[in-house]
Amino acid sequence: MIDVIIPAHKKDIDTLDLCIESIRTNVKGVRRIIVVSKERLSQNAEFFPESEFPFSLDDVGNIVGFHRKTCKYYGGTLQMTAPLVIPNLERDVLTCDSDTIFLKPVEFVDENDNGLYNVSYDIASDVTSHPYIEHCEKLIPGLTKETEYSGICHHTLIQTDVLQEIFDRVQEIHGEPFWKANLMVTLAPYKSLTHPLQTRDGSPFHAECPLLITTYEFYFNYVMKYHSDRCKIRKLKQILAYKGRMGVEGESLHSVGSRTNLDGNVDIIPTAEEQTFNFASFKDACLHISGRCAQLGWDMVTFQNHTRIGAKEDRRILEEEICGRHNNTKD
Element (H, E) at 323: helix 311-325
Average pLDDT, the chain: 94
pLDDT at res. 327: 56
Query: Three-state DSSP class for 205?
Result: coil
Q: What is the DSSP letter of 149?
A: S
Tell me how crowded residue 132 is: count the other CB atoms within 10 A of its CB. Answer: 23
Flag residues of the chain having pLDDT under 70: 325-331
Domain spans of the chain, in order of start: 2-237, 239-309
Amino acid identity of residue 169, one-letter, is R
pLDDT of residue 328: 47
pLDDT computed for residue 314 by the predictor: 78
Nearest to 3 by CA among 104, 121, 88: 88
DSSP code, position 67: S
CA distance 197 to 229: 43
- 8 Å CB contact between 310 and 265: no
CA-based max dimension of the chain: 58
Amino acid at site 270: P
Strands 300-302 and 46-49: unpaired
Amino acid 320: pLDDT: 77
Q: Give yes or no for a contact between 110 and 166, defined as CB atoms under 8 angstroms apart.
A: no
The whole-number pLDDT of residue 329 equals 41
Using alpha carbons, select from 71, 113, 111 the residue that is nearest to residue 206.
71
Give the right CATH number for 2-237 from 1.10.3470, 3.30.70, 3.90.550, 1.25.40: 3.90.550
- Nearest by Cα to 59 from 174, 216, 181: 181
Contact 259, 265 (CB under 8 A): yes
Alpha-carbon 270 to chain mean position: 28
Tell me, what's the pLDDT at 330?
43
